[in-house]
Each structure stands twice: as structure tokens, then as C-alpha cells.
Amino acid sequence: MADNHGNTPAAWTAVLVALVGFVVGAIGMSVHPLNWTLFWVGTVVVVAGGVTFLVMAKMGFHEAGH
């Protein structure tokens, strides 16, 4: 297993962005009537969390001791 085990700025940022996306999507699915626009905005934010991770990892923020 890796030394950092996900405890890097890239991992934490990606998780926080994805969490916001899940909350936004859940709000969109919870309101009556369903707000599909808000759901899809949340979905895009979740995907943006993955892209954020990849970009930050390429920048070196997914290395131990950073």
C-alpha cells in the first residue's frame, strides 16, 4: 500500500469537490418536482472532482511529503 494512502492535497480536494457534487445532485433529486437540471449540475461537479484530482496529481500534489 502507498505511504500516503490518499492523504494528499490532490485526494482531499477531489473528495471535497465530489462531495459537493453529490450533495447538489441529492438536493436536485429530493425536491418536488424533481429538478433534473440541479441533478445534472451535481453530476458534472462530481466528474470535475475526478478531473481536479488528475490535474493536481500531474502537478505533483499527489506525492508523499507534499
- Structural domain containing residue 29: 9-58
In a domain, 1, yes or no: no
In a domain, 27, yes or no: yes
pTM over 0.75: yes
pLDDT reading at 62 higher than 70: yes
Vertex 58: Cα angle to 47 and 3 (nearest 5): 95
Number of domains in the chain: 1
In a domain, 3, yes or no: no
The residue whose grid cell reads 505511504 is: 3
Q: CA nearest 38: which of 51, 25, 22, 53?
A: 25
Query: Rounded to whole angstroms, how far apart are CA atoms 63 and 60?
Result: 6
Q: Residue 32: which pLDDT band, with cuts at 50, 70 and 90?
A: very high
DSSP state of 65: T
In a domain, 46, yes or no: yes
